[in-house]
A and B are shown apart, each in its own frame.
Chain A
Amino acid sequence: MSIAIGFALIVFFALGVPIAISIIIASFIGIEFFSNLPLLLIAQRMVTGINSFPLLAIPFFILAGNLMSAGGISKRLVDLAKSIVGGFQGGLAMSCVVTCMMFAAVSGSSIATTFAIGSILIPAMVKHGYPRPVAASVQASSAELGVLIPPSIPLILFGVSTETSIGQLFIAGIGPGLLIAVALIIFVYCYCKIKGYGLNDKDDSLSFVSALKGSLIPLLMPVIVVGGIYGGVFTPTEASAVAVVFALVIGCFVYKELSFKTLTDVLKKSVISSCTVMMIIAAASLFSFLLSRSGFSADLAEWVTETFSNKYTFLIAINIVLLIVGMFVETASAILVLAPILTPIAIYFGVDPVHFGLIMVTNLALGMFTPPLGVNLFAACSVAKVSVDQILPSLLKFVIVIWFCLMAITYIPSITLFLRDAVY
């Protein structure tokens, strides 16, 4: 059964059938032709798959991020980032990395980060003489931070699908997020120095105190969310509901940029974005059940444990497989299908599940800005008005930087686990 449903899944994916529908078709084929299970299982698993309290955090964080974005936070965060790193050559490009890092802390989605920050900073970089492909590459790679720094939707998905603590995953994401941010800032600085980009960026430097005053309130959100979770005040889902109310209050009463029309647009965007992720979760819940029922997960685990002699060879294989998967399959679906299969194997090899979650998310997120299927890449290209082919030469350098970071995250567990171990 597992071969048939795997083959059907690949065929329908390749034909461009929506991912959720492809998964249901593959599962239907498996149930109808290769098992004695009732078809009713499809409907039952699809509803129970999303009927879960931890998963509510996904639509709530999407809504909170969209409210923050529409409520005027993006411009203020850009100003703060410019006041911190804007005084150097290449300051604008470095501001892009810093802003993405801060925006990631108020939004759980990297694509939201790309649009919100890219629409402000890419035109500004182009105006300052950066080539469009370079500006788009900086933005596309910086958006990777959106999925690592809490709150993060892929980390919630990993937590739910493997029953790993979302709170621990969130705090563990801070180390890898900071590593990638620092690596990108250093790389961007050196790159701009060598190529001579951003010579006039210093002119745009702003006062840190006034920029901080403007963005202090939105920056309280990560403090409330992360602090609330670790202080035991609320669960990640409740934190996401608090985040929505907080974003609403800021947008309506502090910055006064959220009108009724904007609010309806934000709600519309949020329900559609949430639906696209949640439908995949519903379908993947069915698929995972079938895979474990068919014995595929157990067979794969047996094969992997026999083939790889230690955890390092296993992790190298995981890095390569996830890089390829990430290039073709959307992150949420890849996590939902692969995490329940791979995590028990990783635990068998002695890898901490929280560490493995961060390896998996960082690895798959690399695929979000690599062709042929990089959502952040397409988003950055559309904002920068360049084609994917034009961006590739400059993008490759950023991919290499993130790949080195991924290697460090994979083989130095303390980068991920030091904060978790300090808190828990």
Chain B
Amino acid sequence: MDLFLRVEKNITNIALIASMIMLTISVALGFYQVVTRFIFNAPSEWSEVASISLMVWSVFLASAPAFKTGMMMSVDVIYRYVPNNKALYLKAFIGICCLSIILLLIWLGCDLAYRVRFQMVAGLKISMSWVYSALPVGCMFSFFAILGNLVHALNERKKPSNLERVLL
């Protein structure tokens, strides 16, 4: 389990760093657009589309560290009313819900990216698949992050319960 958690940490870090780089380039392109239009009087045709596409990638890649750090917004009032010893069951349920949806998104995202492979992104002359692939790729990273969180939560418990034995 420790080996899995170490691998998962590295995978999530890769997603985070890639997301940070994409955000940086996206901002740079947004600024470049202002510069080309108002300083050089020659508006760039590709920078807007490239900036949006990079942001789509940045968002889906950042979903892995967002899940990992528990930053995904949720209505967590229920934790106040659930006793500590039962909270693990709730966390496991939430983790399984997230994993199921993430797997669904990987499947649908791959399918969609394949179907749009002949459509071109206006202004960039690249396949739409490059943009739509952000969803399944980001979700693959998230899958490991959520699984890592679940394993970590179960590892925290000293005495494994029936649920843990089933899950592990």
Chain A interface residues toward B at CB < 8 A: 12-22, 24-25, 28, 39-40, 42-44, 46-47, 50-53, 55-56, 59-60, 63, 233-234, 237-238, 240-242, 244-245, 264, 267-268, 270-276, 278-280, 282, 328-330, 332-333, 372-373
Given A275-B59, A330-B73, A47 contacting B134 (CB threshold 8 A): yes
Number of A-B contacts (CB under 8 A): 176
Q: Evaluate contact between B94 and A15: CB separation under 8 angstroms.
A: yes
Smallest CB–CB gap between A282 and chain B, Å? 7
Q: Give Cα A271 to B16, complex, Å.
A: 8
CB contact under 8 A between A14 and B75, given known A39-B108, A267-B20, A274-B58: yes
- B55 lies within 8 A of A40 (CB): no
| Pairwise interchain contact A42-B75, C-beta atoms closer than 8 A | no
Number of chain B residues close to chain A: CB under 8 A: 55
Say whether B101 contacts A245, CB under 8 Å. no
Question: For window 51-72 of chain B, which residues contact chain A by CB distance below 8 Å?
Answer: 51-53, 55-56, 58-63, 65-67, 69, 71-72
* 13 A-B contacts (beta carbon < 8 Å): A14-B75, A15-B94, A18-B72, A19-B73, A19-B75, A20-B73, A43-B108, A43-B132, A47-B135, A53-B48, A264-B20, A267-B20, A268-B16
Contact of B112 among A24, A44, A244, A278 (CB under 8 A): A44
Q: Does B23 contact A (CB under 8 A)?
A: yes
Q: Is the CB of A53 within 8 A of B108?
A: no
Q: Is the interface of A mostly helix, strand, loop or mixed?
A: helix
Whole-angstrom distance between the alpha carbons of A47 and B131 in the complex?
8
Check B69–A51 contact: CB distance below 8 A: no
Known: A16-B74, A279-B72. A59 touches B23 (CB 8 A): yes
B69 touches A272 (CB 8 A): yes
- Give bound CA distance, A114 to B63, whole Å: 24
**Cα distance A328–B67 when bound, in Å?**
21
Whether B111 is near chain A, meaning CB under 8 Å from some CB there, is yes
Q: Report how far A12 CA is from B69 CA in the complex, Å.
A: 20
Additional A-B contacts beyond A39-B108, A241-B33, A271-B16 (18; CB < 8 A): A16-B75, A16-B76, A17-B94, A21-B98, A42-B108, A44-B112, A47-B131, A47-B132, A53-B52, A59-B55, A59-B59, A238-B30, A244-B27, A244-B31, A245-B31, A272-B65, A282-B59, A330-B73
Which of the listed residues A14, A17, A46, A244 has the most CB atoms from chain B within 10 Å of its own CB?
A: A17
Of the candidates A25, A50, A245, which one forms a contact with B56 in the assembled complex, judged by CB atoms under 8 Å apart? A50
Instruction: Tell me whether A333 and B111 are in contact (CB under 8 A).
Output: no
Shortest distance from the beta carbon of B75 to any chain A beta carbon, whole Å: 5
Q: B residues within 8 A CB of A233?
A: 38
Closest 9 CB pairs of A and B: A241-B30, A275-B62, A18-B72, A43-B108, A271-B62, A267-B20, A278-B59, A43-B112, A241-B31
